[in-house]
Amino acid sequence: MFDNSIRFAMAQIDTFVGDIQGNSDKVVRYCAEAAHHGADVVVFPEMSLTGYPIDDLTFRDSFRRAASDAGRRLASRLQDVGLGGLTVIVGTLGLGSAAAQKGKIWYATDHNRLCAIRGGEIVATYDKHFLPTYGVFDELRLFAPGDGVTVLDVKGRRVGVAICEDIWRDGGTVAKLANENLDMLVSINGSPYNAGKMDTRYNLVRKRAMECGAPMMYLNQVGAQDDLVFDGGSFVMSPDGTLLEQSPQYREDLSYWTLPATESASLDLKQIDDSRSDCAELGCLDEQMYDTCVLGLRDYARKNGLDKAVLGLSGGIDSALTATIAVDALGADNVWGISMPSRFSSDGSKTDAEQLASNLGCHYATEPIDDLFDAFQKRLSLEGVAKENLQARIRGVILMGYANRGNMLALDTTNKSEFAVGYFTLYGDACGGYAPLSDIYKTQVYRLAKWRNDEAVRRGETAPIPQNSIDKPASAELREGQQDSDSLPPYDELDAVLSAYIEDGDGRADMLSDGFSQGTVDTVMRMVDRAEWKRRQAPQGPKVSSRALKHDRRIPVSQHFQE
Amino acid sequence: MFDNSIRFAMAQIDTFVGDIQGNSDKVVRYCAEAAHHGADVVVFPEMSLTGYPIDDLTFRDSFRRAASDAGRRLASRLQDVGLGGLTVIVGTLGLGSAAAQKGKIWYATDHNRLCAIRGGEIVATYDKHFLPTYGVFDELRLFAPGDGVTVLDVKGRRVGVAICEDIWRDGGTVAKLANENLDMLVSINGSPYNAGKMDTRYNLVRKRAMECGAPMMYLNQVGAQDDLVFDGGSFVMSPDGTLLEQSPQYREDLSYWTLPATESASLDLKQIDDSRSDCAELGCLDEQMYDTCVLGLRDYARKNGLDKAVLGLSGGIDSALTATIAVDALGADNVWGISMPSRFSSDGSKTDAEQLASNLGCHYATEPIDDLFDAFQKRLSLEGVAKENLQARIRGVILMGYANRGNMLALDTTNKSEFAVGYFTLYGDACGGYAPLSDIYKTQVYRLAKWRNDEAVRRGETAPIPQNSIDKPASAELREGQQDSDSLPPYDELDAVLSAYIEDGDGRADMLSDGFSQGTVDTVMRMVDRAEWKRRQAPQGPKVSSRALKHDRRIPVSQHFQE
């Protein structure tokens, strides 16, 4: 009998928004590799030819046309290089029936489209049905919804397709596909990481595979795009929830999985390594969060043409963890740590910064700021917070001098707790193009630092972060004897309130009934609300949580709601 | 016979986002005033009880409940103070049938709702049908669409209602209302200004009034909310396009218009003053743009608890116009202009800055930066652009010192041309909480400066902006003999290309076929694309054009589309 098994290649690639040519080249390379390994079908992520998400590039006429042509051109190219026998599933922007209105108002008329290519042609298309418009997503701004279903015929088998959000909601495409007697369901995705997302995906895919009574492939992109980090982690799951194949997170990958021939009794169940039983499927949560920050920074730098970074090293835990992330992302020789001590800096701070740089093997320089501070103060005679800000801003000027001179990316070391309550100086420590810790609470900063040090020890390397940076009380060191706890609640309490207010969307009454003190709740809510204007001007950083500030949580600057 | 004429009061008010109590208090005050003047119906803007737009406050459970209760509470209050006989039309957030999902993902379930109040009760509601999700609007993120129509009975007459976007699109509510034999159509709006918007509104309302065969009231809010400036300019128009009543722009107002009794032969046609025949209906375009900047700044300061502003005065046209706007918005005694000359500043610059401050009557101080520059350079030895940025950043530190010390709003003087191509120094001249010129091209800056000077002369006052600031070639004065034209195309050419690229959404081929030189087009497109990360960190300013940067035009930082 004819062997109607289908060998799928899972092309978990990183794409570059707007670089249609480069993305297409990569697709061709992966197809060649997959064909060499006997694949029948090669699956690429959502909008793989355009990159994802493209935001308002959607409305640029030249871009729309290039994106829409890209599928057809890819089909020809694949045919030309002898890969026409493959079935290739890619995503791109598809022109809608109406032309986008040029000029004053842009309405969404185009589609987030999947193209199935074979034999030099686009043999089928599918337009995304559910368009996510919440959190970091704005797809109803950008696309018009599709309403059909598409089932591909591959070797006489029925392969249904869906795009990302289509599988996150009941009804729509999946409900229709459930009646299509599928042999296989394939979903192409652009799903950014947040903590716990892998479990959510597993549960979701299990449900959809069961509904369709067929194995399901979840194919995700990998790589960072601005504040979003796509973690990959593609997989295939059987209708009973068994993991049949699993791609790694945080790197490009080409894995294979074969849908058995019809007469084959059962699916080839893959044994998943669960030797690290205290962790989630693909590594501990701490590891995932850390890797998210590393990949976020690496891709932000690379996609913006930068390979070097500079940051201020205060001897504190935030700059220590940021520097470690930077070295892991860019290499020690591409990272410059600048210690900028003042009369308020403790001796420990200077030696801790130097020790960190030495552990990491990165560049290190010292730029004391007292003389510059005195020169400004002779003029301005600032007091209180204004005087503290002045020190941070002098450091910002020095840091940006290094960045501009060396064509380096300046890194903001602000963490999410500080970012949330406005405990940072705009144009001071918030200088920079990227803030790796902007979605990591202070208590998580400690946890990640500990995880990274432990990991180094596990690998037989030196723990990078000096124990003293972890142990000593947090301080901005902008006045004599200052500690963060002078201005803020203890971090464990602060972070608990912030997480309730930001991630859980709790109101004042919710938090009080959860046992937080009224004083803390009122102080924290007011600080968060008043810092909106400062956050708007802070650099972006990788989304790690279920609700990052700014892009994910859009609050007016001018507002006066009080509970 | 019973007089069934209806006296409408047009309550064109400014609301404060989130301040449900304060907004409700204002509504009651306006109702009392309108009742005193014999009104039957008082009409308030879209979402008048919550303020507009509320962005993700929509998802805060305590806010949703307070907003949803606000209509009922207002009805009781009006009844209690003896205003129960009025029919009052207000807007608020209305709870949808499903509860918003608490926590991880927020879906839109609530409505942008109109409430008609009479006799201590909400007698009718209407939920907005079309939810704008383009440009600066994100309403499909925030609200679920309504699908009914509502016709109020007032003195036996049929008054149909709609909310803003409902009248901008064919179909939906208006199409249904056209069959409802209306005596009057009322639309409540939150429509931000952009150049030419009044004509667009007139044309639109004429069309809808004609469709419904009834006079139509267009009631807009006034006042600024972050980057959006609501200009008011409410009006009533007859089905034949005659303007029956016109409220002023840029200030709160309570005007009246009476729908004649049924037996009355004709509408009371109002003669509109067209004595300024070279201008649009409500003042020249230049005047409108200037007033938009003034109101934008005034409300941003007020709504954020600030009454004083500080800015650097370079002697150039941008800082001169910004200072003039600041004085018009906040009063001369609340504005500090700081001259911060360096060795590269021309003598004229210093005297022009001083003359400007003297003309305006604002505070003035001089802070030379050479000693600070030398102190940094002894350390950093920067060259080229890095050296230029250093000067701008030293000025930024001084300016923020003044701002922090005096609790003043720092103003960024960057114009749209500079903003677009990245011709500004982040953390330098881009310091500040608000950028009044961020949507005004350089060539428009000159025009507005001329308009403001001419206007002063018309009023018999001193022209504020020194002629020399208008006449001399533009220069950042960051190196010897520098002129903007060393780095940029001439401003008339630059602004024409920018306007084609940004407002019109033209591609490279479009611009070349329009006769722009290839070199200029390629340079400008590349500069605009590469400056996205800098713009993200720049302060917001008033939207004046059909497409402001950032909020209105959302382009990824990391992208590589090339035409």
Tens of pLDDT, residue by residue over A94-107, are 998 765 455 455 67
Q: Can you give the pLDDT at residue A283?
A: 63
Residues of chain A found within 8 Å of residue B374, distances taken between Cβ atoms: none
pLDDT above 70: residue A1? no
pLDDT of res. B406: 97
Asked whether residue B274 carries a pLDDT value surpassing 60, the answer given is: no
Whether B59 contacts B105, CB under 8 Å: no
Measured in degrees and rounded to the nearest 5, phi and psi for residue B200 equal -60, -45
Chain A residue at shortest CA distance from B404: A386
Portion of chain B with pLDDT greater than 90, in percent:
88
Mutate to test the interface with A, among B298, B512, B557 (most CBs of A within 10 A): B557
Q: Is A46 a catalytic residue?
A: yes
In angstroms, how far apart are the furthest CA atoms of chain B? 91
Write out residues 8-27 of B within 8 Å (CB-CB) of A.
Answer: 16-20, 22
Chain A residue at shortest CA distance from B509: A62
By Cβ distance, the residue of A226, A400, A509 closest to B558 is A226
**Residue in A closest to B300 by C-alpha:** A558
State the average pLDDT for chain A. Answer: 94
What's the rounded Cα separation, in Å, for the pair B117 and B115? 6
Sheet holding A151-154, edge to edge: A151-154, A157-163, A184-189, A216-220, A235-237, A243-246
Percent of chain A past pLDDT 70, that is, above it, reads 95
Q: What would the DSSP string read from start to end of B538-550?
A: SPB----SSS-SS
- Does the distance separating the beta carbons of B537 and A539 come in below 8 Å? yes
For A238-254, what is each residue's pLDDT tens digit?
999 999 999 999 999 99
Would you place residue B117 in the very low, low, confident or very high pLDDT band (cuts 50, 70, 90)?
A: very high
| Mean pLDDT (whole number) for B304-324 | 97
pLDDT at residue A269 is higher than 70: no
Backbone angle region of A406, left / alpha / beta, with phi > 0 → left and psi within -120 to 50 → alpha:
alpha
What is A338-405 written as a DSSP string? EE---TTS-HHHHHHHHHHHHHHT-EEEE---HHHHHHHHHHH---HHHHHHHHHHHHHHHHHHHHHH
Segment A36-40 shows an average pLDDT of 98
Residue B42 has pLDDT above 70, yes or no: yes
Per DSSP (E only), the strands in A309-451 are: 309-312, 335-339, 363-366, 409-410
Q: Provide the 10 A C-beta neighbour count for residue B77.
A: 18
| Stronger pLDDT, B209 or A267, i.e. the higher one | B209
pLDDT in tens, B123-182: 999 999 999 999 999 999 999 999 999 999 999 999 999 999 999 998 889 999 999 999
Can you tell me the distance from the alpha carbon of B31 to that of B38, in angstroms, rounded to the nearest whole number? 10
pLDDT in tens, B198-231: 999 999 999 999 999 999 999 999 999 999 999 9
Region A249-271: mean pLDDT is: 82
For residue B67, name the pLDDT band (cuts at 50, 70, 90).
very high
pLDDT for A107: 77
Mean of pLDDT values over A406-430: 97
**pLDDT of A445 above 60:** yes
Q: How many CB contacts within 8 angstroms connect chain A with chain B?
A: 263
Please name which of B107, B64, B130, B104 lies closest in space to residue A170, comparing C-alpha atoms: B107
Q: What average pLDDT does the structure give for chain B?
A: 94
User: For testing the chain A interface, which of B104, B130, B373 should be mutated: the one with the most A CBs within 10 Å?
Assistant: B104
At the topology level, CATH places domain A6-97+106-273 in: Nitrilase/N-carbamoyl-D-aminoacid amidohydrolase (3.60.110)
**So what's the pLDDT on residue A300?**
98
pLDDT for res A406: 97
List phi, psi (to 5°) of A230.
-90, 120
pLDDT of residue B268: 57
* Burial grade of B263 (CB within 10 A; 0-12, 13-18, 19 or more): exposed
Which of B17, B431, B556 faces A556 most closely, judged by CB atoms? Answer: B17
Q: How high is the pLDDT of residue B276?
A: 36
Q: What is the pLDDT of residues B448-495, one digit of tens each?
A: 999 999 999 999 999 999 999 999 888 888 888 889 888 899 999 999
Q: Which of A:495-524 have CB within 8 Å of B?
A: 503-510
CA–CA gap between residue B479 and residue B345 (Å, rounded): 9
Using an 8 Å CB-CB cutoff, list chain A residues near B105: 134-135
Whether the per-residue pLDDT at A278 is higher than 60: the answer is: no
Tell me which residues of B are annotated as active site.
46, 128, 164
Q: How confident is the model at residue A274 (pLDDT cuts 50, 70, 90)?
A: very low
Which residue from B minimizes the CA distance to A536?
A: B537
Taking a C-beta distance cutoff of 8 angstroms, is the pair B93, B111 a contact?
A: yes
Q: Do B537 and A538 touch (CB under 8 A)?
A: yes
Active site residue A164: yes
d(CA B76, CA B95): 19
pLDDT tens string A283-293: 689 999 999 99
pLDDT at A491: 96
Is residue A164 helix, strand or coil? Answer: helix
Closest-CA residue of chain B to A561: B18
Distance from CA of B231 to the nearest CA of A (A): 17
Answer whether A106 sits within 8 Å of B508, measured CB to CB: no
A104 near B CB under 8 A: yes
CATH number for the domain running over B288-484: 3.40.50.620
Asked if the C-beta of A393 comes within 8 angstroms of chain B's C-beta atoms, the answer is yes
Length of chain B: 563
Residues whose CB falls within 8 Å of the CB of residue A486, separated by 6 or more in sequence, listed in order? none
Q: Read off the tokens for A235.
A: 């997989």
Q: Is A378 a catalytic residue?
A: no
- CB count within 10 Å of CB A363 equals 17
3-state DSSP assignment of residue A471: helix
pLDDT of residue A267: 60
**pLDDT for residue A282 is more than 90:** no
Q: Cβ–Cβ of A18/B561 closer than 8 Å?
A: yes
**Mean pLDDT score, B78-103:** 86
pLDDT in tens, A54-74: 999 999 989 999 999 999 999
What was the pLDDT predicted at A279?
53
Contact B57 A555 (CB under 8 A): yes
Q: Cβ–Cβ of B57/A538 closer than 8 Å?
A: no
Tell me which of A381-390, B231-240, B443-452, B477-486 is least confident.
B477-486
Instruction: Verify whether the Cβ–Cβ distance B400 to A393 is below 8 Å.
Output: yes
Q: Which of A151, A173, A152, A171 is nearest to A163 (CA)?
A: A173
Distance of CA A421 to the CA centre of its chain: 23
The lowest-confidence range among A132-136, A166-170, A210-214, A262-266 is A262-266
Restricting to A residues 521-550, those with a Cβ less than 8 Å away from any Cβ of B are 533, 536-540, 546-547
- Selected residues 184-243 of chain A with any CB under 8 Å from a CB in chain B: 225-226
Selecting from A18, A133, A140 the residue whose C-beta is nearest the C-beta of B559 gives A18
How far apart are the CA of A179 and the nearest CA of chain B, in angstroms? 28
**For chain A, domain boundaries:** 6-97+106-273, 288-484
